[in-house]
């Protein structure tokens, strides 16, 4: 970390390897589109590198870089001046395993129907190995509020699934 702050590319590349996933997930959650998420993640790490010397508490790198990701994603949306495009998982994921059932599509459309402020915590919660504290820290909101949003997101998921089945 310190090496990265002193300008070591190699050290920063290690940071990219470690944190790429969580940054990408934030971007995907907001932008909904894998290609945009990838571009934005690159932008985020570039920005991170140019600013890393200003980070006074190196142990907070993860939260810091994720907050940059959140802001960059939202700037991206603002520039594009439209709502999040329809949410989709990267297509490779579907190709990677053929054990997938149609229910995955059901799940995807349920997640796509959520507002971004519920979707992002939900995706991050699972991606982070179910640590709500982590998610809260990364998004810069309180633990209680992240818990509430997660509950709302799961509730909404249930609601959509229930309706989908009935309808």
Identify residues 17-46 at the interface with another protein (CB under 8 A).
17-18, 20-21, 24-25, 38-39, 41-43, 45-46
Check binding of 92 to another protein (CB under 8 A).
Answer: yes
DSSP 114: S
3-state secondary structure 11-63: HHHHHHHHHHHHHHHHHHHHHCCHHHHHHHHHHHHHHHHHHHHHCCCHHHHHH
Binding to another protein in span 52-91, by CB under 8 A = 52-56, 64, 67-68, 71, 75, 78, 83, 89-90
Q: Which is nearer to another protein, 18 or 80 (CB)?
A: 18
Closest C-alpha to 40, from 22, 53, 23: 23
Check binding of 11 to another protein (CB under 8 A).
Answer: no
Shortest distance (Å) from residue 62 CB to another protein: 14
Check binding of 147 to another protein (CB under 8 A).
Answer: yes
Check binding of 102 to another protein (CB under 8 A).
Answer: no
Closest C-alpha to 4, from 54, 67, 66: 54
């Amino acid at each position: 970390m310190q090496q990265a702050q002193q300008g070591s590319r190699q050290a920063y590349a290690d940071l990219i390897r470690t944190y790429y996933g969580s940054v990408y997930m934030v971007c995907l959650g907001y932008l909904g589109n894998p290609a945009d998420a990838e571009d934005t993640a690159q932008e985020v790490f570039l920005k991170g590198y140019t600013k890393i010397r200003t980070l006074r508490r190196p142990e907070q790198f993860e939260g810091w870089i994720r907050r940059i990701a959140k802001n960059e994603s939202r700037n991206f949306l603002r520039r594009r001046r439209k709502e999040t495009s329809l949410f989709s998982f990267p297509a490779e994921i579907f190709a990677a395993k053929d054990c997938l059932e149609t229910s995955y599509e059901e799940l995807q459309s349920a997640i796509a129907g959520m507002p971004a402020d519920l979707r992002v915590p939900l995706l991050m919660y699972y991606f982070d190995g179910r640590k709500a504290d982590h998610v809260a820290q990364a998004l810069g909101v309180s633990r209680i509020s992240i818990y509430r949003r997660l509950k709302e997101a799961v509730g909404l998921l249930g609601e959509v699934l229930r309706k989908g089945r009935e309808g």
